Structure 1
């Protein structure tokens, strides 16, 4: 007996292959971002990597839950390493932000500075003041003092004295907010003494 319907239609069912690319991509980006996030300055590159790693890993996990992927562990690991990398990036940003604010506040702070030259030399040429804003004076006898208010990172600025041809001793001293930050001594004709305060 023959088959009444020789041309049976076979319904082809396509089995969708799992698409694990997003979960794997998220894990790789998160891992590379985590490794780079620990390195100062280079860690800036980690920001986009960990953010993209987090996004791709979350999308990969959503695909796993919908049955379109089967790499749930990889997607969860991608979320974990991306999140840790993001936390490290945020911590570095906080550290650099605090350091920048501290430097900025120190640069704006005004300090009371006293410049002093003592010794036995006469006809002394003196240069003093903030770095880049120095002033000059000539002293015929010592001690010589000058009080200023300075700003910047190096509050004490600089103090330099040169003795005349008759020689003698020279001692320079810089005091910032009541604390001596630099002192030096020189002796002889045309001797030079130089102090730089912090």
Structure 2
């Protein structure tokens, strides 16, 4: 039987790793992930649950346009997309939503029988104008959308 010569100890570069130390390091890492992830979650949840007041306005001299408007994530209907055909100008719509994931949007389409006049739209969120556009006689559509956040 041949004897196995003694082997030199494994190189640890001066660091001794024990199972309790590795477990403690893993726990610290987990706590950091939970704290950071939880903080981000709280920020997102607070962002989602903030109520907003939204108002659309369309004005102009084009007769009776068709107006399309939406707010994705409306608290009452889940998703709200509607239209008003033959609207009398000036036209406005105001409502309240509790979901910040909403993206407000309004669009007016010139009636086919109108080739003159102007249209304008304004989008208000929480009392502030976030979008305003105008369209001349050559433009069949005017649109206002909430900017990307």
TM-score of the two chains, using structure 2 as the length reference:
0.69
Correspondence for 1:171:
120
Gap regions ≥5 residues in structure 2: 1-5, 73-78
Aligned to 2:3: none
SS at match of 1:183: strand
Q: Which runs of 5+ in 1 are unaligned?
A: 1-16, 25-70
Q: How does 1:29-44 map to 2 (within 5 A)?
A: none
The list of structure 1 runs, each at least 4 consecutive aligned residues, that deviate by more than 6 angstroms after superposition, is none
1:44-78 Cα offsets, whole Å, 9 max, x none, are: xxxxxxxxxxxxxxxxxxxxxxxxxxx984227x9
The offset of 1:145, in angstroms, is 0.9
CA spacing shift, 1:156–1:112, aligned 2, 3 Å: farther
Structure 2 SS opposite 1:75? coil
Q: Is residue 59 of structure 2 the alignment partner of residue 118 of structure 1?
A: yes
Higher RCO, 1 vs 2 (CA within 8 Å, ≥6 residues apart): 2
Q: 1:100 to 1:114 in 2, by over 3 A?
A: same
Larger helix percent: 1
Structural mapping, 1:1-198, within 5 Å: 73-75=15-17, 79=21, 83=25, 86-131=27-72, 132-155=79-102, 157-165=104-112, 166-167=114-115, 168-188=117-137, 191-197=140-146
If each structure's strand is expressed as a fraction of its own residues, which one has the higher value?
2
RMSD over equivalenced CA pairs, Å: 3.4
